[in-house]
Amino acid sequence: MTAVAENPTAANPAPVPEGSTMITVKVARFNPEDGQGQRWESFQVPALSTDRFLNILIYIKSYLDGTLTFRRSCAHGVCGSDAMRINGVNRLACKVLMKDMLPKSGKPVTITVEPIRGLPVEKDLVVDMEPFFDAFRAVKPYLITSGNEPTYERIQSQADRARFDDTTKCILCACCTTSCPVYWHDGSYFGPAAIVNAHRFIFDSRDEAARERLDILNEVDGVWRCRTTFNCTDACPRGIEVTKAIQEVKRALLFAR
């Protein structure tokens, strides 16, 4: 995208890169200090087929409205900080390719963007992630062992490592949890991301606290609240089989590991 201009004015307009297509971006705005509640605001933005949707938001913030608030860091689908609802679907803004969103037949395009659902909105596209991380912390997402520390590494077979490989890929973006109808209905449900991160240690042969985590997930706000609707699996930008992981935890609860 073209270099950022300071304070664009009529005499110094926001740049329109060659080959770009003008699109409408409808953003859910919320400022806790203005008393207006949430409202939609539209921006006209020139988009290149090489852009990610994150570039579009950065363009708005750089040239059109510096007050637009959103999180982002890595811009490469690694940090998990830019989860948002784009055209009604939870996505990482940096993983949405504009070439997939631009019109094929010259028709006008409007893209809507809202904060992820089920967590309190702090400003514009930024939500309070604390309830999400509370659930994550509650399942003890770290290796728990007893006895003497080994002198070298803790040995594990390839087959044992493979058992929880999928759930190691979680980047804690919250796309899954905030696409879950059960979580929307009642935020006290641990949610799929917490269960995925519990799974990662429950099935780790080096860990000794599987029973403890299973007891936590057997509680009223645990895995039994899941209705197996697969929203979470569809939403995961890392391709983790979230619902399958939840089913494995349920099975571990029903039968001995």
Contacts with ligand FES by CB under 6 A lie at 72-75, 77-82, 92, 94
Of 20 and 179, nearer to ligand SF4 (C-beta) is 179
Distance separating alpha carbons of residues 119 and 136, to the nearest angstrom:
14
Residue 94 or 236: the one with the smaller Cβ distance to ligand FES is: 94
Q: Please, which residue, 82 or 221, has the CB nearer to ligand FES?
A: 82
Distance CA 79, CA 77 (A): 6
Backbone angles phi, psi at 79, to 5 degrees: -85, -25
- Cβ nearer to ligand SF4, comparing 26 with 140: 140
- Please choose, from the candidates 240, 254, 168, the residue with its C-alpha nearest in 3D space to the C-alpha of residue 203: 168
The interaxial angle of helices 210-217 and 242-254, nearest 10 deg, is 100
Positions in the binding site for ligand SF4 (CB under 6 A): 80, 170-176, 180, 182, 192-193, 196, 226-232, 235-236, 238, 240, 242-243, 246
**Tokens 């935890």, residue located:** 249
**Residue that the structure tokens 């201009």 belong to:** 5
> Which residue carries 């995961």 as its tokens?
236
Rounded to a whole number of angstroms, the minimum distance from the CB of residue 48 to ligand SF4 is 27
Asked if 207 contacts 201 with a C-beta cutoff of 8 angstroms, the reply is yes
Nearest to 82 by CA among 41, 124, 120: 124
170 binds, among ligand SF4, ligand FES, none (CB under 5 to 8 A by kind): ligand SF4
Nearer to ligand FES, 92 or 209 (CB): 92
Considering the complex, what minimum distance in angstroms separates the CB of residue 106 from ligand FES? 30
Nearest distance from C-beta of residue 177 to ligand SF4, angstroms: 6
Two structure tokens written together for 35: 């008393």
Partner whose binding site includes residue 211, from ligand FES, ligand SF4, none (CB under 5 to 8 Å by kind) = none
- The interface partner of residue 98, options being ligand SF4, ligand FES, none and the CB cut-off 5 to 8 Å by kind, is none
CB of 213 vs ligand FES, minimal distance in Å:
27
